[in-house]
């Protein structure tokens, strides 16, 4: 065993008695590419995937002078019980890493809401009575569904009663033109589905906005599109 670590690891309110020797944080790529007729392959930049965290912690079964505990020494069973409750609860928890220099000066911290994806318990004679636990965590983001209400088209007016007067030329009412501001994650098919109730109507929106849209597969948040009736 080495000297007291300059790291404090927390999973929820649980302080690990010994800081892991290694911490791996992976920020995954979620970008994609497409091929344009004239420009070749291009990148479509998107938000990164959920951050993944992995580490292996040694949980002492006996008291060590350099181990840290909240409220005094606790055996490995205490921590294994906490990990089991966190997994069964199916709730996100805070993962915190506090870093400090040997003289106590604090460095930057890691504080991220995560889900406990899986953990693996290993008992090895080389470690004596101590237990090793390997963790896999994943960033957790709260989310909610949004409801959009689309008003049905107004019912057509009843035709006028027959009269002896000669029919007058009926002027068709001017079509109402609306606008729509593109949101993050939108595509023409989604917009047509939302506004017309039929995603196949996206071509109608594309034709009305050829001055703004060069490629129907590429629209950007903030664009104001004309929505024909």
Cα-based distances in Å from 128 to 60, 122, 124, 131:
9, 12, 7, 8
Q: How high is the pLDDT of residue 153?
A: 81
Q: What backbone phi and psi angles, to 5 degrees, belong to 210?
A: -60, -25
CB atoms within 10 A of CB 135: 21
Nearest to 51 by CA among 119, 120, 136: 136
Give the three-state DSSP class for 12.
coil
Q: How high is the pLDDT of residue 3?
A: 42
Q: How high is the pLDDT of residue 171?
A: 65
Per-residue pLDDT of the chain (229 residues; tens, 9 = 90+): 444 448 899 999 999 999 999 999 999 898 988 888 877 888 889 888 999 999 999 999 999 999 999 989 999 999 999 999 999 999 999 999 999 887 778 888 999 999 999 999 999 888 888 999 999 999 999 887 667 778 888 777 777 666 666 666 666 656 667 889 989 888 888 988 988 888 888 888 888 888 888 888 888 888 999 888 8
Instruction: Look up tokens 């939108």; give the residue.
Output: 186
Distance CA 28, CA 52 (A): 8
Q: How high is the pLDDT of residue 42?
A: 86
Domains of the chain: 7-139 (2.40.30), 178-227 (3.10.350.10)
Instruction: Look up tokens 């604090």; give the residue.
Output: 106
Q: Which residues does 132 contact at the CB level (< 8 Å), separation at least 6?
A: 56, 57, 58, 59, 121, 122, 123, 124
* Paired tokens of 107: 């460095």
Q: How high is the pLDDT of residue 135?
A: 97
pTM above 0.75, yes or no: no
* Paired tokens of 50: 């959920």
Nearest to 208 by CA among 183, 184, 175: 175
Nearest to 134 by CA among 117, 146, 157, 114: 117
């Amino acid at each position: 065993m080495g000297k007291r670590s300059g790291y404090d690891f927390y999973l929820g309110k649980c302080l690990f008695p010994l800081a892991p020797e290694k911490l791996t944080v992976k920020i995954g790529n979620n970008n994609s590419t497409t091929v344009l007729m004239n420009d070749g392959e291009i990148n479509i930049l998107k938000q990164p995937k959920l951050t993944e965290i992995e580490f292996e912690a040694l949980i002492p079964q006996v008291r060590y002078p350099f181990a840290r505990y909240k409220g005094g020494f606790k055996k490995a069973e205490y921590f294994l019980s906490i990990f089991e409750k966190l997994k069964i609860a199916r709730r996100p928890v805070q993962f915190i890493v506090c870093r400090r220099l040997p003289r106590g000066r604090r460095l930057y911290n890691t504080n991220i809401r995560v889900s406990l994806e899986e953990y693996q318990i290993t008992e090895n004679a080389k470690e004596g009575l101590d237990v090793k636990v390997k963790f896999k965590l994943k960033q957790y983001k709260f989310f909610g569904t949004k409801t959009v209400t689309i008003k049905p088209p107004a019912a057509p007016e009843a035709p006028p009663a027959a009269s002896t007067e000669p029919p007058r030329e009926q002027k068709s009412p001017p079509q109402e033109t609306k606008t729509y501001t593109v949101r993050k994650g939108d595509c023409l098919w989604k917009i047509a589905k939302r506004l017309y109730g039929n995603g196949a109507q996206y071509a109608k929106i594309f034709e009305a906005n050829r001055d703004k849209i060069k490629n129907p597969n590429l629209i950007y948040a903030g664009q104001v599109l004309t929505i024909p009736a």
